[in-house]
Structure 1
Amino acid sequence: MKLIGSTTSPYVRKVRIVMAEKKLDYQFETEDVWAADASVGAANPLGKVPRLMIEGHETPLYDSRVIVEYLDTLSPVGKLLPPSGRERADVKTWEALADGVLDAAVLARLEATWPGRGEGERSQAWIGRQMGKVEAGLQAMSKALGEKPFCCGIHMSLADIATGCALGWLAFRFPQLTWREDHPNLARLSDKLAQRPSFKDTMPG
């Protein structure tokens, strides 16, 4: 398998962590989706990473949620998704929440930094709206986590990987946010996950 993506993308990082936790072999090829000569659009019509190339298959897999769900079926090592039912839905809901926080934060950052817009063209109202979603998402995660050791109970799952990637990217791109002080239970979870080799080896930046 070959994974194509960016070392700073939290969605790519989620896939890389799943690969490491499940001890899967793969090649990692970096690609800048913003480069003028980027080929990502030819393989993913949405022009995004990650995408996973699988030997013997012409069409790649794309979207991190699709990729990690597929990867979890490849090995019984480190199962990250319950097989079915409400437990599986709970993990996937956590993943959707964490990815949704990232989606909003990415939109806010692009509005503030994308070189294709002049300073007078940037919308502070749009940035504020997206950052409001980030804060609401963090509050929801903190409330749902409570005092549990992991997002969905006593074992690490895909919910924790997605949440850890979201928190790690916020710390990387939005160091001014005070989520660690505002939500100490999320900070504890983030610190615990950061000790795992899979998280250490994929730190952005």
Structure 2
Amino acid sequence: MKLIGSLASPYVRKVRVVFAEKKLDYQFELENVWVAETRINEVNPLGKVPCLIMEDGQAMIDSRVMVEYLDTLTPVCKLLPPNGRDRADIKCWEALADGVTDAGVLMRLERAQRPPEQQSEEWIARQRKKVELGLAEMARKLDESPYCAGIHYSLADVAVGCCLGWLAFRFPEIDWRGAHPNLARLYDKLSERPSFRDTVPQ
């Protein structure tokens, strides 16, 4: 398998972490979707990374689809329960973490991709509110548990860890550590795992 992505993308990082946790081999190909010469549309019509090229040449898109598929390939480090409410709860964690990241990405794009006179402070504030409320909900749900889903490391932790790591990378002014010490403790613990150490955003 070949994973196309960037070193900065939190969604790509999520897939890379799962590859590492599952001990699966893959080829990693760097791609910058923001330059004119990008060829990402040849494999993903949506022009996004990550994009996973399968052994048969078919492309798989969307990080949530990829990580769910990768978890089925080997019993090593199962990240999702087989079915039922527990599985849905973990997928809700992933949706929450990705939603916070999505809002952060929209904030960054407004600042980085649009000239100052075209930027909307109202739009940025709206996205910032989503980030803040999402972080507060993560902290509430985590409470004093060692992991998002209780006592077991799961895809929920992967998603939350990638979200927090990206926020620390792109928005150091958002003090989620000070506001939510339990999230800071979780992230510090996750950062000790080789899968997280080897995929720090750059």
Shorter-chain TM band: over 0.9
Q: Percent identity between the aligned chains?
A: 65
Q: Match for residue 92 of structure 1? A: 91
Partner of 2:191: 194
C-alpha distance in 2, partners of 1:44/1:186?
34
Structure 1 outlier segments of 4+, above 4 Å: none
TM-aligned CA deviation for residue 42 of structure 1: 2.1
| Separation (CA, whole Å) in 2 of partners of 1:24 and 1:118 | 42
CA distance in 1, matches of 2:16, 2:156: 15
Q: Distance in 2 between matches of 1:161 and 1:118?
A: 34
The equivalences for 1:4-83 within 5 A come to 4-56=4-56, 58-83=57-82
- Residue in structure 2 matched with residue 150 of structure 1 by the alignment: 147
**Separation in 2, partners of 1:25, 1:113:** 35
* Counterpart Cα distance in 2 of 1:81 and 1:195: 21
With normalisation by structure 2, the TM-score equals 0.99
The equivalent residue for 1:161 is 158
Unmatched runs of 5 consecutive residues or more in structure 1: none
Q: What are the ranges of 5 or more consecutive residues in structure 2 without an aligned counterpart? A: none
Secondary structure, counterpart of 2:127 in structure 1:
helix
2:100 is the alignment partner of 1:101: yes
How far apart are 1:192 and its partner, in Å?
0.2
Query: What's 2:118 paired with?
Result: 121
Partner residue, 1:174: 171
Q: CA RMSD in A?
A: 0.6
For 1:45 and 1:2, the matched residues in 2 are separated by: 17
Tell me by how many angstroms 1:59 deviates. Answer: 2.3
Count of aligned positions: 202
Tell me how far apart the structure 2 counterparts of residues 82 and 33 of structure 1 sit (CA, whole Å): 34
Shift of 1:6: 0.3
